[in-house]
Chain A
């Protein structure tokens, strides 16, 4: 088991990771969810021994990896957020080079290279230079390189940033396959809620360097079990109407969105009549209403008062 205790990283005046306790069991898939700047990348850099923490410990099977990082490195496959490849070389040459530095040679290297290229669906275009690939294809090779030495744990730092929906879907299916068929342990960071919901057994929600909630998807959503979300579509924004809603006893939280307002209400309350009356009083026309069961997005909104991609 990989475990961190009171992990902290401070850069001059900024605390990037603040007192994080985290664990990852063998074979499970854990998601780190949080907006940009939440501290996810810093946390995984410390877990993967690339960055020394200011304080705290990272243990792997009871051994402090900060003291002996070389013990855990061979079993880690890290997919960085950047395209960490040599773009003037072909996909095959990249895969082969990274295989060689892991000491894989000869026929084994050739077989592994073909295997990972097949896995990411680029075996037929392996001789092309990486710089000629689309963003999605480059991301797939970025993952292939991390899988070459058959790591036990794969750490993926936002592997789907800035790519087309098809490539994204391909990558998500691939990660699912790695976990389910190969039994790989996965640590997946993202600020896309649906990716984490789809892939991960457990989720850590981070904000401002802290873990603000943790648990399975169901456990996290149960935080809002006593609440419901109402999406209110309005013809025009009205500050006075928003303030009136905030003051209503049954409405717990009011936030704005592109189309209107998002209200979090107590599950047993019936504030709809009051909402329509207030809209009429403030000369606002309600052109849409949607009552939803809470999602992880709502949990994040509830915990931080912000949307994930704010």
Chain B
């Protein structure tokens, strides 16, 4: 088994093209999709003040807007704001008046409701203050607001996941890395099909090496090359492009290992189903693109409304890996929270591997 495993590395040294191309493609896509906010992952929203808003009120509203975390507001003329929205440079903008505000938007954006909540409380306070006539009343209310008699502390328990956190950089990094890793892993396993076609498989079978050792040599290589590709891309973006994967690298690597295992098993199943390695080349792009779409590698599944698609996503390894990776890096989940997605990935690995080896042996 060791000799077969080492042989694959020796062959990779002579033909490293595919793996290098996959790493380059991943980096390119992550950079272009997720790298737009390089070093600044804040959402920027243009704001236009109508003529009725005085400069003092503008300053007060700006102060109130600054209190919202993760979003920066900048002043813009109405026409320029509309043009930016039409061109897709920003998703939406705000038109602020004295007693109301208006969203100017072209598409739906999950952040809109968060901004809306913030503005609602800002305007509720502002309108209350505006109703007060005497300065004495205003001073009393301001003091009461600064020192409230009752403090209501709201906490979110189990529903925490219902809050949708979107990080474009990590979405692109995880999605593209998991997507391109499918190609590397499955094409590495395609070598089993090629060996059978070429006749070298028969040579291995006739040797004292057992059949399971031959399979294991190939499977281990596919697993390690997949893990290597994922780790290299993650490290590269963490170290050189300021992407924040976080401190829980062991958990991230554990998720990647379970995902890689599931893809290795899926690759085995696909290799078993095709008759020739050329058929595998035709099938892999279809499978990997479908899995990436359905599993939330291209866009977050939180924006998908179709129940059917969400049910299908449950059997896609990409979905569970994305969920676990985002849980660790964006929602601050711990290892115990990973139990379910990792268990699903391991179950998929066992099922696909069992069926794959069986189908291959029957051929």
Which residues 73-122 of A sit at the B interface, judged by CB distance below 8 A? Answer: 73-74, 76, 78, 80-86, 88-89, 93, 97-98, 100-103
Residue of B nearest to A80 (CB): B199
Task: Say if the beta carbon of B54 comes within 8 Å of chain A.
Answer: no
Task: Say if the beta carbon of A10 comes within 8 Å of chain B.
Answer: no
Number of interface residues of B (CB under 8 A): 19
B204:A101 contact, CB within 8 angstroms: yes
Q: How far is the CA of A81 from the CA of B198 in the complex (A)?
A: 9
A101:B202 contact, CB within 8 angstroms: no
Task: Say if the beta carbon of B4 comes within 8 Å of chain A.
Answer: yes
Measured as residues with beta carbon below 8 angstroms from the partner, the interface class of chain A is 20 to 34
Within 8 Å CB of B207, what residues of A?
A: 73, 98, 101-102
Among A86, A98, A129, the one with the most B-chain Cβ atoms within 10 Å of its Cβ is: A86
Q: Report the minimal beta-carbon distance from B154 to chain A, rounded to whole angstroms.
A: 63
B206:A84 contact, CB within 8 angstroms: no
Chain B, residues 154-192, CB within 8 Å of chain A (1/0): the string is 000000000000000000000000000000000000000
B208:A93 contact, CB within 8 angstroms: no
Among B11, B198, B206, B209, the one with the most A-chain Cβ atoms within 10 Å of its Cβ is: B206
Task: Say if the beta carbon of B14 comes within 8 Å of chain A.
Answer: yes
Task: Say if the beta carbon of B3 comes within 8 Å of chain A.
Answer: yes
B14:A88 contact, CB within 8 angstroms: yes
Task: Say if the beta carbon of A17 comes within 8 Å of chain B.
Answer: no
Q: Report the minimal beta-carbon distance from B298 to chain A, rounded to whole angstroms.
A: 34
Which residues 185-241 of B sit at the A interface, judged by CB distance below 8 A? Answer: 197-200, 202-209
A98-B14 CB under 8 A given contacts A73-B208, A82-B198: no
Q: How far is the CA of A146 from the CA of B206 in the complex (A)?
A: 10
Q: How far is the CA of A100 from the CA of B203 in the complex (A)?
A: 12
Task: Say if the beta carbon of A185 comes within 8 Å of chain B.
Answer: no
Residue of B nearest to A82 (CB): B199
Q: How far is the CA of A58 from the CA of B4 in the complex (A)?
A: 30
A78:B11 contact, CB within 8 angstroms: no
B11:A89 contact, CB within 8 angstroms: yes
Chain A residues in the interface with B (C-beta under 8 A): 48-50, 70, 73-74, 76, 78, 80-86, 88-89, 93, 97-98, 100-103, 129, 145-146
What are the 10 closest A-B residue pairs judged by CB atoms, nearest first?
Answer: A84-B199, A80-B199, A82-B199, A88-B14, A84-B200, A101-B207, A100-B3, A101-B209, A73-B206, A50-B202
Chain B residues in the interface with A (C-beta under 8 A): 3-4, 7, 10-11, 14-15, 197-200, 202-209
